[in-house]
Amino acid sequence: MQDAFVGSWAQESHLSAEILGSLRDLNHRFLDLAAARTEWMAGKLAPLSAAQRAAAANCPYALFDLRFQDDGYWRLRLQNSGTWRIADESEVDDATVSFVRLALFYAWHVASGAGLAAQLLLGMNGNTVAAFRRITVNQLPALVVTEAVHLSARWSGCTAYWSALTAAASRADPAALRRVQLSGLQLAAAARLPYA
């Protein structure tokens, strides 16, 4: 069923089913991780079953964020890659570090490709995409531990979105869930508008 949903998103966009399928898997991992954390979205995800979280995860955009929209932060973080050091101990748990490792690799992979995929899927600023393109895969491990502390839910301040997503996922109503997932596209587009 999930592959059918990915296929429908892929048919409606210029993104491949593989890119969207990997994003769905990352979103699902993130929702599973977030379900165990009451500080993220006030525990809204905990009542959802694994199947309901899987349905909610099938969005054509990331449900997680690593400050990708903050081009100033990433420009400074990535410009001096030769001076990075891997921290000895992490302040975050192993599951979060593991997720961030995958998310950063995915972000690097998508940003390394042509087009606007990283901007559309991850909310990256164009300068952030360019900064990720300039690094190699060997430079990613040094980022994982330091960036894991920045992991959060995308649009974490938009309780209306997260409430609607979790409510639609908890009901067996694919049309309602699809409407909420489409509203996330509106949030992603609005985030790209210049500030007034």
- Per-residue model confidence as pLDDT tens digits over 51-81: 999 999 999 999 999 999 999 999 888 886 5
- For residue 1, give every residue at least 6 positions away whose Cβ sits within 8 Å of its Cβ, in sequence order, or none: none
| pLDDT digit string, tens, across residues 112-134 | 997 889 998 999 999 999 999 99
Residues recorded for the chain: 196
φ and ψ at residue 63, rounded to 5 degrees: -95, -5
- What confidence tier does 89 reach under pLDDT thresholds 50, 70, 90? low
On the question of pLDDT at 3 being above 60, the answer is no
Residue 91 has pLDDT above 60, yes or no: yes
Residue 180: both structure tokens together: 């909420």
Transcribe 128-185 into DSSP letters: HHHHHHTS-GGGSHHHHHHHHTT-EETTTT-HHHHHHHHHHHHTT-HHHHHHHHHHHH
* pLDDT band for position 12 (cuts 50, 70, 90): low
The reported pLDDT for the residue numbered 85 is 54
Q: Which two tokens stand for residue 161?
A: 């979105």
DSSP for residue 99? H
Check residue 82 and give its pLDDT: 55
What are the distances in angstroms from CA 108 to CA 94, 114, 123, 129, 131? Answer: 21, 12, 13, 8, 10
Separation between Cα atoms, residue 184 and residue 65, nearest integer Å = 14
pLDDT, tens digit (0-9, with 9 covering 90-100), for 139-190: 999 999 899 999 999 999 899 999 999 999 999 889 999 999 999 999 998 8
